[in-house]
Chain A
Amino acid sequence: MTDLSVLTSLEASATGAPTGPRARRPGRRWRVSGRAWLVLWLVALVWSFLSFLDKDYGVVNLAGLSAFAEFWAHAVRPDISPDFLRATLAASVTTLAFGVLGTVLSIIIGVVMAPVMSQTLWASASASGAGRALRAGGLALSRLSMALPRGVHEAVWGLLLITVLGRDPLVGVIAIAIPFGAITAKVYAELLDEADHEPYELLRAGGASRASALCYGLLPTLLPSVTSYAFYRFECSIRSAVILGMIGAGGLGLQLTLAFQGLQYAQMWTLIYALVVLGALIDHWGAFLRRGDGPRRWQLSGSSPCC
């Protein structure tokens, strides 16, 4: 049984013991410094608002109010012509396909890169100074190489890829796979390092290579956490796929942008309802897996942190 909040806490860049939101309780010191943080927060908030409102031409654009009202008025009469419904369905399938392929690719990246990033692989058997320095350097290098793809938002990757490839459907897939693959690799590497190493050490002592010792000694115990994190990533991918669509990769996001540019309020609402249905499906599917009615191997516990 793997608690998803513990899994996702592995995403954080800070090293140290993973602590889910559940693990902390207010201590004695929290009163004083909690209040200090609160004051700091309020000061920052007031400062932000004041600088936002400091405009010569005012804040509220009354001229746009009619368009805004018209948009909401169309909520009850979306475009339900068969042609547009068919287009919406096709767009939804495209968005889903982005999510599926993006997840598959990021899991492949994760599985391939995780051993490279883990201490398990780089742990030196010999104690010689030069070998140890080389191994430490290798570990640091592999971790650094995954920090950049992780630090840049998938939308930025999407923008960069579009300048290279144009409006190719695979832009959406790759833009999801780059940052998500790096995050998955990090989480899987942490899982590897935290796992029980006894079977692995035994296999190594018996003469197995590092790779086969990993496959037979560590992988079986890790499988539940690995699959549950993969499903969590899938939920995140679908949400990202919509945003990438808006940048121009295609799918529901692209249709929404087009409807917005043409001020087709009725079509916008059809697409929004499609998004709501998609969102509800993802939520219920995640909740279903987490409740434990699903196949035992995929069981997740804990609430979903939402990506």
Chain B
Amino acid sequence: MASVWHLAPDLSRWFSVRTTQSLARLVDNMVPPRLPSGGWSQLVSRSVETLQMSIVAITIASVLGLLVALLAARGGTTPARRALGWTARLVLLLTRAVPPPVWALLVLFVIFPGPLPGAIALGIYTFGILGRLFAEVVEEFDQRPREALTEIGAPPLASFAYASVPAAAGQFIAYSLYRWEVTARETVIVGVVGAGGLGRLLEQQRAGFDYPAMTTTILALIAVCILVDALSIAVRSSLRG
């Protein structure tokens, strides 16, 4: 109730004639869809770019997430280890609290516009989420093999790599694949601020009032997401064996 009061929605605007008209005009404009300027080659190259962005982003996120997760996992014994874990969790919190478009705007300071800054921005954000998920996995599983290795003299990193990672690999991969599906969907939001892919195309078309082409772009986005979902399901089922 407090939310309604705070936003103070003006319902009369919603049912006004003007709104109805502009909605009708939008629907009228969007159907039937039309190819964007540049035709199929433009659409396909943007779709491929979107796919590439998601691949690079999820790779950055998974690799960094794995490295930081072992620091962020609770259960450190020494004060130094605990402080390190606290810092790692804070970094993960910061990276996932700031939405991907903001990261994209930041990355655009130092890297020329294109798909790469978008991929990096998505990678940073997804890193925050995957790092936390990986850390939870690390916290939950059996610590004894790792402790045994450390006890017989293995360095902490090596015992983590040989005892913990193989045991948790299945879950790590499952989470990464799940986040890959989400990342493919989120490429559109970094594209909107100008970081490449289908999202950028969509924003250009919106700014140019090219509504029929917007419909096509949205359909292409859905197609890319379906492709990524299908790939992810295929990998999962082959891993399940």
Measured CB to CB, the residues of A under 8 A from B are 12-14, 19, 21-22, 24-30, 33-34, 37, 41, 44-45, 47-49, 51-53, 55, 57-62, 64-65, 67-68, 71, 93-94, 96-98, 100-101, 151-153, 155-156, 159-160, 163-165, 168-170, 173, 239, 242-243, 246-247, 253, 256, 260, 272, 275-276, 278-280, 283, 303, 305-307
For the complex, what is the distance from the CA of A151 to the CA of B97, rounded to whole Å?
A: 24
Question: A265: shortest Cβ distance to chain B, in Å?
Answer: 11
Known: A37-B235, A97-B6, A152-B221. A165 touches B19 (CB 8 A): yes
Which of B14, B93, B119, B169 makes the CB contact (< 8 A) with A276? Answer: B93
Question: A300: shortest Cβ distance to chain B, in Å?
Answer: 14
- Of all A-B residue pairs in the complex, the 5 with the closest CB atoms, nearest first, are A27-B241, A279-B97, A48-B52, A97-B3, A21-B174
14 contacts between A and B (CB under 8 A): A27-B240, A27-B241, A29-B241, A34-B239, A37-B239, A52-B119, A53-B116, A156-B218, A246-B102, A253-B99, A256-B102, A275-B97, A280-B93, A306-B133
| CB of B150 within 8 Å of the partner chain | no
Which of A12, A64, A260, A307 makes the CB contact (< 8 A) with B229? Answer: A12
Chain B's closest residue to A148 (CB) is B222
Measured CB to CB, the residues of B under 8 A from A are 2-4, 6-10, 13-14, 19, 22-23, 26, 52-53, 55-56, 59, 93-94, 96-102, 105-106, 108-112, 114-116, 119, 129, 132-133, 136-137, 140, 169-171, 174-175, 178, 182, 185-186, 188-189, 192-193, 202-203, 206, 218, 221-222, 225-226, 229, 233, 235-236, 238-241
Question: A117: shortest Cβ distance to chain B, in Å?
Answer: 19
Do residues A151 and B225 form an inter-chain contact, with CB atoms below 8 A? yes
Find chain B residues with CB under 8 A from A14 CB: 229, 233
Tally the A-B contacts, defined by beta carbons under 8 Å: 194
Question: A261: shortest Cβ distance to chain B, in Å?
Answer: 9
Question: B177: shortest Cβ distance to chain A, in Å?
Answer: 9
Do residues B106 and A168 form an inter-chain contact, with CB atoms below 8 A? no
Do residues A61 and B174 form an inter-chain contact, with CB atoms below 8 A? no
For the complex, what is the distance from the CA of A163 to the CA of B106, rounded to whole Å?
A: 27
Which of B26, B53, B189 makes the CB contact (< 8 A) with A243? Answer: B189
Do residues B106 and A71 form an inter-chain contact, with CB atoms below 8 A? yes
For the complex, what is the distance from the CA of A203 to the CA of B174, rounded to whole Å?
A: 41
Question: B228: shortest Cβ distance to chain A, in Å?
Answer: 11
Which of B108, B111, B241 makes the CB contact (< 8 A) with A30? Answer: B241
Do residues B222 and A151 form an inter-chain contact, with CB atoms below 8 A? yes
Do residues A52 and B114 form an inter-chain contact, with CB atoms below 8 A? yes
Do residues A160 and B178 form an inter-chain contact, with CB atoms below 8 A? no
Do residues A305 and B178 form an inter-chain contact, with CB atoms below 8 A? yes
For the complex, what is the distance from the CA of A21 to the CA of B188, rounded to whole Å?
A: 27
Do residues B56 and A71 form an inter-chain contact, with CB atoms below 8 A? no
Known: A153-B185, A165-B13. A173 touches B106 (CB 8 A): no
Question: B213: shortest Cβ distance to chain A, in Å?
Answer: 14
